[in-house]
A and B are shown apart, each in its own frame.
Chain A
Amino acid sequence: MKDTEKPKPKIAFFDFAGCEGCQLALLNCEDVVLDLLELVDIVEFREALSEKAHRYDISFIEGSINREEDAQRLRDIRARSKYVVALGACACMGNVQARSNFVAPAENFAVVYGEEARNRVQTDREYWPLWAHTRVRSVDEVVPVDYQLRGCPMIPEEFLSLVKSLLAGSIPFFPPKPVCVECKMNCNECVFDQGRTCMGQVTYAGCNAVCINNGYVCDGCRGLLPGANLDAHRQLLRESGLTDAQIESRYRLFCSQAETKHTGQ
């Protein structure tokens, strides 16, 4: 079969509010980037924007949706895409910045830019379009999402597995198990036994427990596992000496959205 007989699938990347580390994680798959280019057309990252007529086979959305203008752009992308994939923790669940949702935007503006600038933002029409922060939303709060690539940053192996599945016409599958399972397979000493606390029991696996392998704990950057017994986990944290306020703060490092929104997975 010649390449020319069948057009290559078009893959597009769109970034919203985030650190763009997930796109970078993809660029970091140096070994496979060139091979991937043989199989798909990557419609160039941000330049895809100007090609309004295009349709995409897979659109990867990076970042959280913080403004209405961003939400509108996202709806337009959804309408032109066969599959929409939330790429990384910001797109999947708002990530660390969703913690700002517990404080009014006006106060956040004042803290970061000062009272005087905040007041100008609120009263001067010229400032409005750029500064129209509403709240931090995940992609699936705005449009239907077909698949999620979890984690901060996302795991390149999961990205490749998803792309391969979609190209082969099969359904991507990421086993719903907690980080604890992968941690045990790495033979780590449980961090609770070291007198520290962990989100690994209630966090969606797939990272191979990379943080615990490297001497840290799990902070839940891949999101809460559907069906996890959160009450039991909170009780465990309490028994390890955390106050209720500290437990809330712990959940709100990466998973703050879990408290303000409930989605069916």
Chain B
Amino acid sequence: MMSDNQRSYTIEVNHVTRVEGHGSIRINTREGVVEDVKLCIVEANRFFEAFVRGMGPEEIPWIVSRICGICCVGHQLASTKAVEAAIGVVPGAQTIELRKLLNLSQFLQSHVLHVYFLAVPDFFGAPSVLPLAKTHTEVVKRALALKKLANDFTAVVGGRTLHPMANTVGGWRKVPDKDALAAIRKRLLDALPEYEATVDLVSTLEIPPYERDTEYVSLTHPDEYALYDGEVRGSDMDGTASVDSYLSICNEFTVAHSTTKWSKWHRDSYMVGALARVNNNFAQLHPKAQETAQKLGLRVPCVNPYMNNVAQVVEIVHCAYESIALIEKVLDTGLRDEDFTVTPKAGQGAGATEVPRGLLFHDYTFGDDGRCVAANAVIPTSQNINNIERDMKHFVPLMLPTMSQKDLTLHMEMLLRAYDPCISCSVHMLDVEFVGGEEHPGEPC
């Protein structure tokens, strides 16, 4: 009987599960040689950048939040910053602190969701988190509790968990209730052992050892681990680039097999996300997060993309401690209702923020009537897609001689999920499709 690695085959994974959005992986091998690897993004178009034209400044962050459910806070924050830059609004210190809290809550929510629900099942060999509810009840209960805490955190700061409405251009529509915020702080403190247990869980997982050096791109800030604000840093450059120059950072281009636009900067591709941030700004992580990295064997610079899951856990620890400290600060200062009336006017502005999946840019232009005439958003996943496909092209030939088709498929899906891709956002993903020189071997994946 012929072993898998001698056959010519095509692996197709269509509509890869447990990624946000729709994508497929297509791998073509002939006589044990990889002919082609393609990451196809099949998400339907929604044309946000086209249909927001005509909207007023306050409507934009509220509507573009709908680009993605998981990343709604990030889209709101980046677009709010861009709109403020366009019409010359400078938010107050309290607003910025509330936005940072909102962003931290989203990191906690998204990273917990990704690590427990979308990535961990692979390591337990389970098709999803649902069977784990029976076999690993404690793990699932902890995951649900941590997710609920993060969701409640978002709701207290932003008004609700999904598409929160409290943040707007220039300020906060309704400031959070102090007692509710204090209660969140207490729950975060109480949950520290649960975050620790998350670290322990991830320390038991065997991370595939594949490495490929690439450029790592993230925000960077002189005073803090950059999540809400900063300048852009690529690991291939000295110094930083301004957010306004984002078009010459992303250099977007289109390919036939993807409804997402692709990006590249100093090299053929680059990576954004938790691993890029940890690589670029490690020294500014909370000491407990640095300890976590050490415990999990993450040493920077780390060039194993599968380690992105580990970097997310490092950031979970960072965000938990940062949130506790920032809530204390906000409560000490006290919360006031602020005037946030804005006057629409003509102008153009870009804004960026780090979101769980990486660097996010929004850019808006308003005409003389104060209505939007042009919009652009560059999403973390679309910046990553090119890098993911290059990882696949690099890793598949390394894996092919020793792995069965089934394992290879699993490793490709795990790689894709390690990037935590959000394809709803990026089209604004994944079946693996093994396409063969000969007949299709066996059942479709």
Contact, CB under 8 Å: A47 / B66: no
Please pick, from A19, A27, A96, A214, the residue contacting B117 in the complex, using a CB distance under 8 A.
A27
A residues less than 8 Å from B130 (CB atoms): 37, 42, 44
B residues less than 8 Å from A211 (CB atoms): 159, 165
Contact, CB under 8 Å: B254 / A133: no
B residues less than 8 Å from A49 (CB atoms): 14-15
A131 to B147 alpha-carbon distance, docked (Å): 36
Contact with A along B40-70 (1 / 0, CB 8 A): 1111111111110111100100110011111
Q: Does B133 count as interface, using CB distance less than 8 angstroms?
A: yes
Please pick, from B15, B144, B148, B174, the residue contacting A214 in the complex, using a CB distance under 8 A.
B174
Segment of A106-114, A167-175, A198-206, A231-239 engaged in the interface with chain B: A106-114
Tally of contacts, chain A with chain B, CB under 8 A: 165
Q: Does B424 count as interface, using CB distance less than 8 angstroms?
A: yes
A171 to B195 alpha-carbon distance, docked (Å): 43
A residues less than 8 Å from B147 (CB atoms): 27-28, 30
A144 to B85 alpha-carbon distance, docked (Å): 46
Contact with B along A7-36 (1 / 0, CB 8 A): 000000001111111111101101101100
B70 to A, closest residue via Cβ: A24
Contact, CB under 8 Å: A21 / B69: yes
Q: Does A161 count as interface, using CB distance less than 8 angstroms?
A: no
Q: Does B227 count as interface, using CB distance less than 8 angstroms?
A: no
Contact, CB under 8 Å: A112 / B70: no
Range of interface residues on A (Cβ < 8 Å): 35 or more
B residues less than 8 Å from A153 (CB atoms): 69, 162-163
Known: A50-B444, A152-B163. A133 touches B424 (CB 8 A): no
Contact, CB under 8 Å: B117 / A133: no
Contact with B along A56-73 (1 / 0, CB 8 A): 000000010011001000
B residues less than 8 Å from A31 (CB atoms): 148
A residues less than 8 Å from B21 (CB atoms): 20
A interface SS class: helix
Contact, CB under 8 Å: B144 / A34: yes
Q: How many residues belonging to B are interface residues under a CB distance threshold of 8 Å?
A: 64
B residues less than 8 Å from A63 (CB atoms): 44
Known: A21-B69, A27-B113, A96-B66. A214 touches B162 (CB 8 A): no
Q: Does A215 count as interface, using CB distance less than 8 angstroms?
A: yes
What's the minimum C-beta distance from B194 to chain A, rounded to whole angstroms? 13
What's the minimum C-beta distance from A157 to chain B, rounded to whole angstroms? 13
A104 to B59 alpha-carbon distance, docked (Å): 23
A37 to B62 alpha-carbon distance, docked (Å): 34
Contact, CB under 8 Å: B174 / A97: no
B residues less than 8 Å from A19 (CB atoms): 66-69, 72, 424
A residues less than 8 Å from B20 (CB atoms): 20
A42 to B128 alpha-carbon distance, docked (Å): 11
Q: Does A79 count as interface, using CB distance less than 8 angstroms?
A: no
11 A-B pairs in the complex with CB atoms less than 8 angstroms apart: A18-B424, A25-B161, A27-B113, A44-B127, A103-B50, A111-B47, A111-B49, A127-B256, A210-B160, A214-B165, A215-B165
The interface of chain B, by Cβ under 8 A from chain A, is 14-15, 17-18, 20-22, 40-51, 53-56, 59, 62-63, 66-70, 72, 113, 117, 127-128, 130, 133, 140-141, 144-145, 147-148, 151, 159-163, 165-166, 168, 173-174, 254, 256-259, 261, 424, 428, 444
